[in-house]
Chain A
Amino acid sequence: MLIFSFILLGTTLLTIQTTIFPMLPAWMGNPDLLFLLVVYIAIRLDIFPGAVLALLIGLLMDIFAGVFLGLYPVIYLLLFFLLQGLSRHLVIDETVHQAPLAVASYLLASSGIYIFATILAPDASLTWSWRDILLSALILAVIAIPFYQLCSGIHNLALKGIKNRAFLRSKSGNRFLA
């Protein structure tokens, strides 16, 4: 249920990013909401469901973005494990850290994509534009906190669904005991 909810959310975000966001003015950029979702998954979910989600979201992104199959799953998985490791030692999932975390993660992921794409196709060098990347990072920083609130709401709904189903299972013995 949890994985399904986040996959559904990821699919919705991808549809919005590929259809509505390109119509926005250039100064508004094209906020990478799917990337923010991966960051949220990395800092809030457990390792096994989180890794599966990061992989699936990367595979989805591969279909609609880029030319190298496998690039986004690798980048998202690496980012996932890095943030998972950091979240066990540092308090990075607090609200005050969410905006800087989004910016730092985005810069790191962009560097990874640039490096991998350059290695995979040296003849087709990508153009590193500080203006575009910093604008995208700034937009992500602005929308990070409300977006994480949305993800938290969906996360709690999904968990409530799991708990409700567990509650409905018939129990043996005195069911009125706590």
Chain B
Amino acid sequence: MRKRAKRTRQIKALLLFGVILVLVLMLIVATVGRQEFNAPHKLALEVIGKAQSGVTVVTDFFTSFWDDYIALLDVRKENLRLRQEVKKFRATNNEYREAVATNVRLSKLLGLKETLPPPTLTTRIVGKDPSLWFRTVIIDRGSSDGVKQGMPVVTVEGIVGQIMSSSPHYAKVLLASDPNSAIDVLIQNTRVQGIIKGDGTDFQLNYVLKNCAVTEGDAIVTSGLGGVFPKGLPVGNVTRVTKSRRGMFQEISIQPAVDFTQIEHLIIIMKENSLAE
């Protein structure tokens, strides 16, 4: 009888403690409504980010060792091919420079407002999201480098994501392939606008009406709307278009221009007055 009473008391204490703890946590979550890192989060990110950087340096060393000594067979052929490409791109670059100079001159004449491209910052991924559900990465640049929430992150291939949170030396990037990411885009040929959302690996282009012409292979670029990503950055290519009987919109699958499994080095576009603020 005594034992039963004691056990009942223990269970009640356990339940009460558990309920109080969960309620306190939910209260914290609810009051921290902006979902931003506070000081303890930033401190933990700084400490563990250092460890991640250290491990990344070590793994990069072994990876580059493997790449350098095992892939030597193709280096000479690749070298020759790349030299040819550089020659071609140098010539093209000269033509573009001339075109840009002409554009600037004509814009001045027309009295159009000129906007200089924002400065950029290179960064490296030091850690990736360990969960199955979300797609985020940790980079080795933070608020001390001028990184702010909402800044777009790209590579030479295309868009990668946006800065979510930052500490003094590290930041968390929400990848465009995450389901919580939404980016304004347009189809390059037809200039039809839509919004791409990630599905974990690829993109889905939403809010494109059924009467808009979309074909497989169409290139998708950023529209510049929303003020986050500059206009014209590559997003991906259409791989599948489905027009179901119900609904107003088409179901369009997009193959990202960036291979999210292979990204290592990123470029942060240091846009001021991000709309995320």
Are A and B genuine complex partners? yes
Query: Could you tell me which A residues sit within 8 Å of B by CB distance?
Result: 11, 14-23, 30, 32, 34, 47-48, 51, 55, 59-70, 73-74, 77-78, 81, 84-85, 88, 110, 113-114, 117, 121, 123-127, 129, 132-133, 136
B216 CB to nearest chain A CB (Å) = 22
8 smallest A-B Cβ distances: which pairs? A70-B29, A18-B127, A17-B130, A19-B55, A81-B18, A65-B131, A124-B180, A22-B128
Chain A residues contacting B180 (CB-CB under 8 Å) are 67, 121, 124
20 CB-based A-B contacts, threshold 8 Å: A19-B52, A20-B55, A21-B130, A23-B63, A30-B130, A32-B130, A51-B21, A59-B41, A61-B130, A64-B45, A65-B130, A65-B131, A67-B134, A67-B164, A69-B36, A70-B26, A73-B25, A78-B22, A84-B14, A124-B181
| In contact, B129 and A63 (Cβ under 8 angstroms) | no
| Interface of B toward A, CB cutoff 8 Å | 11, 14, 17-18, 21-22, 25-26, 28-29, 32, 35-37, 40-41, 44-45, 47-48, 51-52, 55-56, 59, 63, 126-134, 136, 138, 164, 172, 174, 178-182, 197, 199-200
Given A47-B14, A127-B199: A55 touches B52 (CB 8 Å cut-off) = no
- A/B pair count, beta carbons within 8 Å: 139
Are B29 and A67 in contact (CB-based, < 8 A)? no
Cα distance A77–B18 when bound, in Å? 8
Evaluate whether A110 and B136 lie within 8 angstroms (CB atoms) in the complex, with A47-B14, A64-B48, A127-B179 already known: no
Question: Judging by beta carbons under 8 Å apart, are B17 and A125 in contact?
Answer: no
Q: By DSSP majority rule, is chain B's interface helix, strand, loop, or mixed?
A: mixed
Nearest B-chain residue to A48, judged by Cβ: B17
Say what secondary structure dominates the interface of chain A: helix
* Docked complex Cα distance between A11 and B161 (Å): 26
Nearest CB of chain A from residue B45's CB, rounded to whole Å: 5
Q: Which residues from B are CB-within-8-Å of A133?
A: 132
Question: How far, in whole Å, are A30 and B182 apart by their CA atoms in the complex?
Answer: 26
| Residues on A with beta carbons closer than 8 Å to the beta carbon of B138 | 18, 64
| Contact B14–A81 (Cβ < 8 Å) | yes
